[in-house]
Amino acid sequence: MKPIRQLAFVVNEQKEGAPALARELVALARTAGVALKQTTRFPLPKGWLHGCDACCVIGGDGTLLGVACESAREQVPIIGVNRGSLGFLTTFSADEARAQFLELLEGQFRVDHRAMLECSTGTGPHDLALNDVLIKDEVNSRLVRLEVFADGELVTDYTCDGLIFSTPTGSTAYNLSAGGPIMHPAAGVIAMTPICPHTLSNRSIIFRENVRLRVFNRSPTARLLVAMDGQRNLQVGAQSPVEISVAQLRLPLAQRADYSHFSVVRTKLKWSGGFVDKR
């Protein structure tokens, strides 16, 4: 990658150690002669990243999700530094960021382009999601009947607490908690996972990348909530379908040259196949 000459910082002040780490990295960037802009507010407004070569996000995965749409629109790579808990997206630790930051500024990283979902609800504007689109009733405790079509063909109708439509990147988030599959980020698919379905045979369905999905509300008294990455809600008309597809835009995510997705999954999910004899 080309060297970074203009760098944006997005810092989550609520995360322990994030402001102090930001000061350290800002000092390194200034020493290297990099032009800077900073904010502690997210989601970012449209245009805020215009002209930047990269954006350093210091916080957790939720912080990065608040930057993802603007990053995708402007095609500005995100350098995610984890000061949260799991950190599937913010893959640089604080120590790694300190040690490698000058190299990152010199362009010594690779960019992984992550698929996003595009969602619309009738005549309203389209929105983007990096992790998932959640469709459920506005009342948490109420079941909802949802009818799903793929490219105009009926898939099935669900009586459930909701449906999760996940990208491969988001497969380790809400989708995984609801019993859905883990998918490699490069897989060109969408996973649809029902939440607490009332038919035991209803399980996740995997759709190809160019599928066009439509979801209809078949509960006469229910109003739907459509949540994008758990951060933004879309309004749904009573008769309007929710339309979901893979977006043309992709999120540019900066990674170390030796980044391994499965190493991250093993570490974050504490996988271990080793047998420990405690006798």
8 A C-beta contact, residue 63 and residue 90: yes
Based on the number of CB atoms within 10 Å of its own CB, is 152 exposed (0-12), middle (13-18) or buried (19 or more)?
Answer: exposed
- C-alpha to C-alpha distance for 32 and 233, rounded to whole angstroms: 40
User: Which amino acid appears at position 237 of this protein?
Assistant: G
Stated length of the chain:
279
Closest CA to 136 of 234, 248, 38: 234
Return the sign of the alpha-carbon dihedral for residues 238, 148, 69, 62: positive
Closest CA to 212 of 126, 142, 97: 126
- C-alpha to C-alpha distance for 238 and 88, rounded to whole angstroms: 36
Q: How distant, in Å, are the alpha carbons of 20, 47, 80, 102, 115 from that of 228?
A: 31, 20, 20, 34, 14
HSE-up (13 A, CA, CB side) for residue 151: 6
Sheet architecture: strand order including 232-234: 205-208, 189-195, 162-166, 132-137, 224-228, 232-234
- C-alpha to C-alpha distance for 265 and 187, rounded to whole angstroms: 15
The helix (H) or strand (E) run that includes residue 227 is strand 224-228
Segments making up each domain of the chain, as ranges: 6-109+256-268, 116-249
pLDDT value for 278 = 61
Tally helices (H) and strands (E) across the chain.
Answer: 5, 16
pLDDT value for 195 = 96
Using only C-alpha atoms, the chain has a radius of gyration, in whole angstroms, of 20
- C-alpha to C-alpha distance for 193 and 202, rounded to whole angstroms: 9
Domain at 6-109+256-268, CATH class: alpha beta
Look at the domain 116-249 and name its fold: Tumour Suppressor Smad4 (2.60.200)
pLDDT value for 236 = 87
- C-alpha to C-alpha distance for 269 and 247, rounded to whole angstroms: 28
Question: What string of pLDDT tens digits covers the 279 residues of the chain?
Answer: 899 999 999 999 999 999 999 999 999 999 999 999 999 999 999 999 999 999 999 999 999 999 999 999 999 999 999 998 878 899 999 999 999 999 999 999 999 999 999 999 987 779 999 999 999 998 877 899 999 999 999 999 999 999 999 999 999 999 999 999 999 999 999 999 999 999 888 899 999 999 999 999 999 888 999 999 999 999 887 788 999 999 999 999 999 888 888 888 888 888 876 655 666
Catalytic residue IDs: 61
